[in-house]
Homo-oligomer: A and B are copies of this chain.
Amino acid sequence: MSATSDPRSERVQVRRIPARGDYDQATIHAILDEALVCHVGIVDDGQPVVIPTIHVRVGDEVFLHGSKGSRLLRTLEMGGEACITVTLLDGLVLARSAFHHSMNYRSVVLLGRGRAVESREEKSRVLDALVDHVIAGRSADARMPSENEIDATTVVAFPIDEASAKIRTGPPVDEEKDMSLPIWAGVLPLGLTPGSPVAAEELSADIATPSYVTAYSRPRGDR
């Protein structure tokens, strides 16, 4: 875990277990880059709504995209307040007491209002980056978006400004009085891992499975 710095706003200060808070931009970027899915919160007529979607970080911004018809994207491009949260689950933490059970995780919470990306050039760059965020190397192979496809896609940018990371690592922490109980304690690591690729049925037999598929892994930042 990298050294913590100060939060850029009180709104993203980690209040529960402050020692787990981390405001270092490199830490925040690494978590955003590893996560495949983010959860976006908006307020719709007073009701919080949380929708999972794909994101990509480029520089100091996070980009979301979607169909022009999406309620989420319409709200975001109109500049509604949003919260973008990503969570990487690293393991189950089994303490001797149920009370001190926990999980090891790395999460980022980002608050802000979006900026609609208007130019085809910027949208195109973001969509390329999005494909390579999900599976590095893919944008060089896939048929990239036509102008019509770009025009049918809404892209919204969020500054990585009001953001904080929260991280738990390491073994369980038990009460002193529980340490001698004859109960197994430790960590069960968890990770997202790929299975065997399943080629599309109609795929010509002479098209080999690319190495970015067969050797797939997520980029890992410094823990």
Main DSSP-derived SS at the A contact region: mixed
In the complex, are the beta carbons of B143 and A178 less than 8 A apart? yes
Most chain B beta-carbon neighbours within 10 Å: one of A37, A47, A189, A200: A200
Q: Which residue of B lies closest to A183 (CB)?
A: B141
Contact A203 B216 (CB under 8 A): no
Contact assessment for A50 and B43 in the assembled complex, using a CB-CB cutoff below 8 Å: no
Tell me the number of copies of this protein. Answer: 2
What's the minimum C-beta distance from A98 to chain B, rounded to whole angstroms?
4
> A15 near B: Cβ within 8 Å?
yes
Which of the 9-residue segments A20-28, A55-63, A207-215 touches chain B? A207-215
Give residues in A with beta carbon < 8 Å to B. Answer: 11, 15-16, 36-37, 39-43, 46-52, 54, 66-67, 69-71, 81-85, 87, 89, 91-92, 94-99, 101, 103, 105, 107, 109, 111, 127-128, 131, 134-135, 138-139, 141-146, 149, 153, 171-172, 178-179, 181-204, 207-210, 213, 216
Question: What are 30 A-B interface contacts by the 8 Å CB criterion?
Answer: A16-B66, A16-B67, A36-B92, A37-B87, A37-B105, A43-B46, A43-B47, A46-B81, A47-B83, A49-B83, A52-B85, A92-B135, A94-B138, A94-B142, A98-B127, A98-B131, A98-B139, A99-B145, A101-B138, A141-B184, A142-B183, A184-B208, A185-B199, A185-B203, A186-B199, A188-B194, A188-B213, A189-B194, A189-B196, A190-B193
